[in-house]
């Protein structure tokens, strides 16, 4: 079951900035969705914990399993990351989302793993994941309970919970925003950030504030990623709207801190193959948006968001190349190479995309 979930619901966890100003539309069809490196940079103070120098990648349980998780699924998912070769490509995090803990804390006020679904405990699971060269993440909430209402949140227990997570060997914390009593959002997330600085220096801190208070403008000094959108759903409109919402914050992302348009839905069944290809391409491109690729290479996606076939053109001036530059064009989905100069055009099916790496000759 978990192997299928990995292949069908692989998530670029907190998938980073879908970014930058789009190149202008050209030729026939929809506005051009061609992305390269951002031309203007509005950087923010980055948290200095040595983590998140590149965007985090891996797997998260929520979009496929929701609360129906257990330690066997997590172990099998870790196995699958290794056996499929995805770990070698950078998919390192195995993250447990909501519902992993007992409804109540123990007599000392500590969170307790759910005795039925995680009988071996989180530390044993972290040891298993670490032995494979992977990292383990857990979930909590900046409120009194998590969003599922099935386990306690960490509000006013920040230091105690971080000490617990660190003792288990946890590498990643996704920190949600439910049941917060209306308390100030910056104060709540600052408390957890300070606790992690003090007791969990190796924990990647992923703020899941839903973008309500423009966290890109203030979360850079607190954590390694911040949600810029509400929760994604497994449909075209939800996916594209989150790409658009995330787009404007591109210049705030970079090494140490990344925009998060929520996790991939690829393979969960609500979109077509073409739509999932677009979804994966736009989220994957977010990984490189903070700067140019090595060797002055550029990543470009031609994304047809309309309901009809369209020809889309990306001019070199729109993606940061000299207008006269000759390049080798690598089509990442077709696994083919060609040459181009000045521009690249393609006929793109409805809701589909083309994704290229342009390498100057």
Cα distances from 177 to residues 29, 148, 262, in angstroms, run 40, 11, 14
Q: Which of 5-19, 28-42, 118-132, 328-342 has the lowest mean pLDDT?
A: 5-19
| Exposure letters 109-142 (e unless 16+ CB within 10 A, then b) | eebbbbeebbeeebebbbebbeeeebbbbbbbbb
Q: Is 176 a catalytic residue?
A: yes
Q: What pLDDT score does 87 carry?
A: 97
Active-site residue identified among 127, 231, 244, 331: 231
Q: What pLDDT score does 285 carry?
A: 77
pTM: 0.87
Closest CA relative to residue 151, chosen from 210, 213, 101: 101
Q: Is 231 a catalytic residue?
A: yes
DSSP 289: T
**pLDDT category, 23, cuts 50, 70, 90?**
very low
Active-site residue identified among 176, 234, 247, 352: 176
* pLDDT tens digits along 119-128: 999 999 999 9
* pLDDT tens digits along 50-72: 999 989 999 999 999 999 999 99
Residue 172 pLDDT > 50: yes
Residue 31 pLDDT > 50: no
**Mean pLDDT within 182-210:** 98
| Greatest extent of the chain over all pairs of C-alpha atoms, in Å | 70
* pLDDT tens digits along 307-348: 999 999 999 988 889 999 999 999 999 999 999 999 999 999
**pLDDT category, 250, cuts 50, 70, 90?**
confident
């Amino acid at each position: 079951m978990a192997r299928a979930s990995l292949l069908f619901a692989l998530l670029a966890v907190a998938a980073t900035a879908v970014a930058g100003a789009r190149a202008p539309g050209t030729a026939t069809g929809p506005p051009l969705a061609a992305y390269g490196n951002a031309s203007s940079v509005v950087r923010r103070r980055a948290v200095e914990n040595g983590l998140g120098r590149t965007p985090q990648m891996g797997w998260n349980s929520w979009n496929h399993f929701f609360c129906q998780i257990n330690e066997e699924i997590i172990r099998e998912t870790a196995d699958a990351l290794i056996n499929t070769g995805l770990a070698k490509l950078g998919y390192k995090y195995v993250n447990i989302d909501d519902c992993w803990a007992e409804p109540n804390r123990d007599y000392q006020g500590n969170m307790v793993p759910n005795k039925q679904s995680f009988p071996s405990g989180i530390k044993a699971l972290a040891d298993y994941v670490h032995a494979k060269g992977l990292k383990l993440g857990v979930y909590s909430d900046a409120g009194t309970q998590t969003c599922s209402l099935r386990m306690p949140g960490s509000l006013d227990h920040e230091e105690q919970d971080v000490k617990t997570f660190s003792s288990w060997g946890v590498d990643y914390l996704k920190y949600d925003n439910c049941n917060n009593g209306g308390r100030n959002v910056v104060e709540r997330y600052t408390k957890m950030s300070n606790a992690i600085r003090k007791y969990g220096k190796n924990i990647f801190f992923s703020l899941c504030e839903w973008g309500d208070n423009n966290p890109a403008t203030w979360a850079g000094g607190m954590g390694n990623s911040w949600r810029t959108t509400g929760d994604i759903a497994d449909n075209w409109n939800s996916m594209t709207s989150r790409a658009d919402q995330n787009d404007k914050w591109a210049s705030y992302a970079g090494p140490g801190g990344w925009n998060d348009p929520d996790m991939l839905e690829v393979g969960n069944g609500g979109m077509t193959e073409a739509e999932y290809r677009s979804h994966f391409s736009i989220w994957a491109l977010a990984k490189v948006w903070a700067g140019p690729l090595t060797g002055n290479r550029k990543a470009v996606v031609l994304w047809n968001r309309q309901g009809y076939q369209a020809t889309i053109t990306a001019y070199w001036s729109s993606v940061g190349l000299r207008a006269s530059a000759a390049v080798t064009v690598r089509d990442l989905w077709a696994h083919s190479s060609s040459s181009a100069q000045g521009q690249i055009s393609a006929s793109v099916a409805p809701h589909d995309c083309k994704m290229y790496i342009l390498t100057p000759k």
